[in-house]
Amino acid sequence: MNMSNTRQYPVELQRQVIDEVKNHNRLLSDVAKQYGVSAKTVYQWVRSNDLRQMRSKSAIVSEIAHLQQKITQLSQQLHTMAS
């Protein structure tokens, strides 16, 4: 892909477009037309946002699991010390 043909869009515009598609249940093609962006670009933004959210949720779930293990370990140590 030739980088000179790649257009950079403001982050705020991307957020607005993603919000329209995800939170207002608007058709991707309609939102693309309204904002003057290609449907492919809107699709990529929405997909990228979804992947970011999934990675974030995965990281949070992993951290919760780690903390639960730590709580169990500390509870066992406390119980051992109290005995």
Q: Enter the pTM of the model.
A: 0.67
Q: For 24-61, what is each residue's pLDDT tens digit? A: 999 999 999 999 999 999 999 999 999 999 999 999 99
| Cα–Cα nearest to 17, from 37, 4, 8, 2 | 37
- Helices (DSSP H) in 1-83: which residue ranges? 11-23, 28-35, 39-82
The domain segmentation of the chain, as residue ranges, is 3-82
Please tell me the class of the 3-82 domain.
mainly alpha
